[in-house]
Structure 1
Amino acid sequence: MGRGDLSDAEWERLRPFLSVSNGRCGSWRSHRQVIDGILHRVRTGVQWA
């Protein structure tokens, strides 16, 4: 877990609100990885492409 990433406890509180893959779409990235990436961009002010 990187600095500023969600803790396990925070992740467990968020998990019920996230969708589950239905198997028909392509492979999904980990929700946790995506959310940690978004939080990193928000914290650092990195420009969105």
Structure 2
Amino acid sequence: MSRGDLTEAEWRILKDLLPIERKNRGRGRPPEQNRGIVNGILWRLRCGAPWRDVPSKYGSWNTIYRRFRRWSEAGVWEIVAVTLAEIMA
């Protein structure tokens, strides 16, 4: 685990808020790899680097970008923010 990656406690909260990805005829990352994808998204947002510069230890930059975009369009990040705000209150 790298600095800035999700802790076990953070992941336990977050994993149930993420949508279940449909299997895409065997392509793409399996849903159980969402933790690495979320860590890649967080890395990119922290650093402000281009998507293509996300370290490969988090997965394919393209997968990370597409999952981020799909979850953004679906309002997943709003649900995450509201839920985390309620937990912290």
TM-score when scaled to structure 1?
Answer: 0.76
Equivalent residues in 2 for 1:30-41, closer than 5 Å: 30-41=33-44
TM-score when scaled to structure 2?
Answer: 0.46
Quick one: higher RCO (CA 8 Å, sep 6+), 1 or 2?
A: 1
Flag as ranges the 4+ runs of structure 1 deviating above 6 A.
none
How many residue pairs match? The answer is 48
1 or 2, which has the higher helix percentage? Answer: 2
Equivalent residues in 2 for 1:15-34, closer than 5 Å: 15-20=15-20, 24-25=23-24, 26=26, 27-28=29-30, 30-34=33-37
Where does the alignment leave 5 or more consecutive residues of structure 2 unmatched? 53-89
Where does the alignment leave 5 or more consecutive residues of structure 1 unmatched? none
